[in-house]
């Protein structure tokens, strides 16, 4: 079960759903704004910044949040379209009580969501989310008219964030001579990401920069990297960079048009830090991180640890261990010495810096990491179990699991877990041989499905 299974509105990353369905409705979001204003602003008021991606529903949700926050006595600074990590950064620099992001990240346009940042740019802890949910059960009590909040536009938000991204690499770094294809997914980074790379000297072919409210993540961005691979080949580019709808994830494409995922990006970033003596501790991945990254880190003497799936869990493990570098295969990369949350632009800059410093193409930087074949199968919970973990514990599934693990031996892994966001059990098998991995994954998935259907 999800760690947030006892909460009604908050999921693994804020509040998210289909627009027009609870909780992404005007009345619920109005109440959410008021409750968040009460919980995050207390009785003293203050300022909250609000940014969004490019979904058409952002206008609706922004207005509902604004009304609720004003009713709670909070002033509002409206950023407009801005990557999620940019909103985290501007929350810190504006000394705001909180930051709010209206986005459903890599989801289609008809979904949307709301997530929050504390004044330091970190995400809300569970106890604050629970406090907001408790307040949502109360009737809205508007502050006296002389204490109502006001709204204003945040001055020069894009320019401030662009300069911040550039400041995360040495002032002497030049991208001159590099041709980059930058896919902004028709999302929140459409008006900032190309400028960052251009101002550092690169020749930029920018795509996914014409949002219309409906085309966010549509056949583009980090979830559709085939588009980027084709464009890298057509333009003879050195590197391709694909962001997701809210700009906190990145995948890359090398000069040979090979896809470079989040695990490979972490390999490049950790290796560079070891080489220049700036690697505090080790790397945190998740249970789904490719075994190749773990073995590559071991070969370089870099400690490696696995957290549960989700950037919140990665962040928490980094904080506990005093490390700074971690992330997920999807391209959600945390480099905490540079940003408080995943930032696709900053992660891409980090990799480009490594290429220039070492005078090597991206394919050479990733070549020493062996990527183990993986198969991932989602098994639907057809019988509607309230506790999907029950299926995993059944004897038939455990017998199949042990059989697969024996076959793989020390050169593979199995992950069997209930999803925290969907009514499915995820089956992941990883090993050196693609055909063996696919066969074992199917065998284990069939064992889970048999339990679910009672066959």
Please report, for the domain that includes residue 81, its CATH number.
Answer: 3.40.120.10
Tell me, yes or no, whether 87 and 170 share the same domain.
no
Tell me, yes or no, whether 54 and 172 share the same domain.
no
Single residue among 302, 333, 366 that ends a domain in this structure: 366
Position 359 in a domain: yes
Q: Respond yes or no: is residue 105 known to be catalytic.
A: yes
Beginning with the edge strand found earlier in the chain, give each strand of the sheet holding 283-286 in spatial order. 304-307, 283-286, 325-327, 333-335
CA contacts within 13 A on the Cβ side of 284: 28
Residue among 198, 208, 204, 223 at smallest CA distance from 332: 223
Asked if pLDDT for residue 1 goes beyond 80, the answer is no
Instruction: Report the alpha-carbon distance of residue 6 to residue 1 in Å, rounded.
Output: 10
Phi, psi (rounded to 5 degrees) for 202: -75, 155
CA angle 246, 249, 253 (to 5 degrees): 125
Tell me, yes or no, whether 151 and 164 share the same domain.
no
| Given the residues 57, 77, 103, 105, the one annotated as active site | 105
CA contacts within 13 A on the Cβ side of 44: 5
Instruction: Report the alpha-carbon distance of residue 5 to residue 426 in Å, rounded.
Output: 18
What would the mean pLDDT of 93-104 be, rounded to a whole number?
97
Name the residue range of residue 107's domain.
15-155
* Overall number of domains in the chain: 3
Instruction: Report the alpha-carbon distance of residue 150 to residue 163 in Å, rounded.
Output: 28
Tell me, yes or no, whether 361 and 400 share the same domain.
no
Compute the 3-state secondary structure of the chain and give helix, strand, coil in percent, each to the nearest 5: 40, 20, 40
Residue among 94, 109, 265 at smallest CA distance from 187: 109
- Where do the DSSP E strands lie in 118-218? 151-153, 179-183, 203-207
Position 220 in a domain: yes
Interaxial angle between packed helices 434-453 and 395-408, expressed in degrees from 0 to 180 and rounded to the nearest 10: 170
What would the mean pLDDT of 156-164 be, rounded to a whole number?
98
Q: Which long-range contacts (CB under 8 A, 24 or more apart) does 116-120 make?
A: 116/14, 116/36, 116/40, 117/87, 117/88, 117/91, 117/340, 117/341, 118/91, 119/91, 119/92, 119/95, 120/92, 120/340
Tell me, yes or no, whether 437 and 318 share the same domain.
no
Tell me, yes or no, whether 379 and 355 share the same domain.
no
Do 350 and 335 contact (CB within 8 A), yes or no?
yes
Instruction: Work out the pLDDT band at 3, boundaries 50, 70, 90.
Output: very low
Position 87 in a domain: yes
pLDDT for 255-271, tens place per residue? 999 999 999 999 999 99
Bridge partners for 203 per DSSP? 179
What would the mean pLDDT of 116-126 be, rounded to a whole number?
93
Instruction: Report the alpha-carbon distance of residue 19 to residue 15 in Å, rounded.
Output: 12
pLDDT at 41: 85
42-51, 150-159, 381-390: range with highest mean pLDDT: 150-159
Tell me, yes or no, whether 129 and 240 share the same domain.
no
Q: What percent of the chain is modeled with pLDDT above 70?
A: 95
């Amino acid at each position: 079960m999800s760690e947030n299974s006892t909460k009604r509105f908050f999921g693994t990353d804020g509040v998210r759903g289909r627009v027009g369905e609870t909780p992404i409705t005007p009345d619920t979001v109005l109440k959410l704004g008021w409750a968040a204003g009460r919980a995050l602003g207390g009785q003293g008021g203050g300022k909250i910044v609000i940014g969004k991606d490019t979904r058409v529903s952002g206008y609706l949700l922004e207005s509902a949040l604004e009304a609720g926050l004003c009713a709670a006595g909070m002033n509002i600074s409206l950023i407009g379209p801005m990557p999620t990590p940019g909103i985290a950064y501007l929350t810190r620099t504006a000394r705001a009580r909180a930051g709010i992001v209206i986005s459903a990240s890599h989801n289609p346009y008809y979904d949307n969501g709301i997530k929050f940042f504390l004044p330091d740019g970190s995400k809300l802890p569970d106890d604050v989310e629970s406090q907001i949910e408790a307040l949502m059960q109360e009737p809205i009590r508007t502050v006296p008219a002389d204490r109502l909040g006001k709204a204003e536009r945040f001055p020069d938000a894009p320019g401030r964030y662009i300069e911040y991204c550039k400041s995360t690499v040495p002032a002497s770094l030049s991208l001159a001579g590099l041709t980059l294809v930058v896919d902004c997914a028709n999302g929140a980074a459409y008006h900032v990401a190309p400028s960052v790379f251009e101002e550092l000297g690169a020749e930029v072919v920018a795509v996914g920069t014409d949002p219309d409210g409906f085309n966010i993540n549509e056949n583009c961005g980090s979830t559709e990297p085939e588009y980027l691979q084709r464009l890298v080949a057509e333009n003879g580019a050195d590197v391709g960079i694909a962001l997701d709808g809210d700009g906190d994830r990145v995948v890359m494409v090398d000069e040979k048009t090979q896809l470079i995922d989040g695990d490979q990006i972490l390999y490049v970033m950790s290796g560079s830090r070891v080489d220049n003596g700036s690697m505090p501790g080790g790397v945190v991945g998740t249970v789904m991180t490719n075994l190749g990254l773990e073995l590559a880190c071991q070969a370089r003497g870099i400690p490696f640890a696995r957290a549960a799936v989700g950037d919140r869990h990665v962040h928490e493990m980094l904080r506990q261990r005093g490390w700074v570098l971690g992330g997920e295969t999807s391209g959600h990369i945390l480099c905490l010495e540079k940003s408080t949350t995943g930032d696709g632009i900053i992660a891409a800059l980090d990799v480009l810096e490594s290429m220039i410093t070492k005078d090597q193409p991206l394919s050479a930087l990733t070549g020493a990491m062996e990527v183990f074949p993986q198969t991932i199968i989602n098994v639907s919970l057809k019988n509607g179990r309230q506790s999907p973990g029950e299926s995993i514990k059944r004897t038939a599934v455990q017998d199949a699991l042990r059989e697969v693990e024996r076959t793989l031996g020390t050169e593979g892994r199995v992950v069997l877990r209930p999803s925290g966001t969907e009514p499915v059990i995820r089956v992941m098998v990883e090993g050196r041989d693609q055909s063996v991995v696919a066969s074992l994954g199917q065998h284990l998935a069939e064992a889970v499905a048999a339990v679910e259907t009672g066959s």
